Amino acid sequence: MATIPLPGVTVFGSVFIRNFLKCPDILFSDNDITQPTSMGTSTVVSSTTLSYYEVGVLAFTTAGSYANATNIAYQRNGRAIHIFMPRITNTATAATLTSPAGALPAYLRPQTTMNQIYIATVNSANVAAVMTISTAGTITWTASITGGNYTNAQEGGVLAQTITYLLH
């Protein structure tokens, strides 16, 4: 069976994508998908469209258990938020580790306070612990699955890892 090429259409196996076909907020052009990188607010979110893409780095100094200058990378793809945390460790005091209020911009914040399990370093051992992201954009890293403090005068902190969550 012969295939007749159509002008402006790219064929990938049995999938046809028309070049420069404009879909809601997504532009298909040859092999690339271009998404808008503006209007990134948590209220402009649809559960059915992939309408926003952004990457960036958030720089802040942690507080609570100790103060460390920290850079956290993020990626927002539609409703999905990916936070790439570096290793953040130091000699801890008996407290949790927190970011400043508003460390996460509004368009990356959950609509309700969110708890996520992450891997913490406590007394030089890796343990499961709870990280909280508040609606005010504050991140709190605890030292245990029950939300406990780090141990005074011992190594404590966050292992390098990625946390993913969805905006509502």
In order of their start, the domains of the chain are: 7-35 (no CATH), 54-166 (2.60.90.20)
- Given a cut of 60, whether residue 39 has pLDDT beyond it is no
What DSSP state is assigned to residue 94?
A: S
Residue 36 vs residue 160, higher pLDDT: 160
pLDDT at 135: 94
Which backbone phi and psi does 107 adopt, to 5 degrees? Answer: -80, 0
Mean pLDDT over each residue of the chain, to the nearest integer: 79
Residue 155 vs residue 20, higher pLDDT: 155
pLDDT at 133: 95
Q: What is the pLDDT of residues 56-111, one digit of tens each?
A: 999 999 999 999 999 999 999 888 999 999 999 999 998 999 999 999 999 899 98
pLDDT at 22: 40
Band of residue 32 on the pLDDT scale cut at 50, 70, 90: low
DSSP string of 32-77, one letter each residue: EEE---S---TTS--SS----EEEEEEEEE-EES---EEEEEEEEE
* Overall pTM > 0.85: no
- Given a cut of 90, whether residue 4 has pLDDT beyond it is no
Exposed, middle or buried, 96 (CB in 10 Å: 0-12/13-18/19+)?
buried
Q: In whole angstroms, what is the distance from residue 43 CA to residue 31 CA?
A: 30
pLDDT at 52: 78
pLDDT at 132: 95
Contact present, 75 and 165 (Cβ < 8 Å) = no
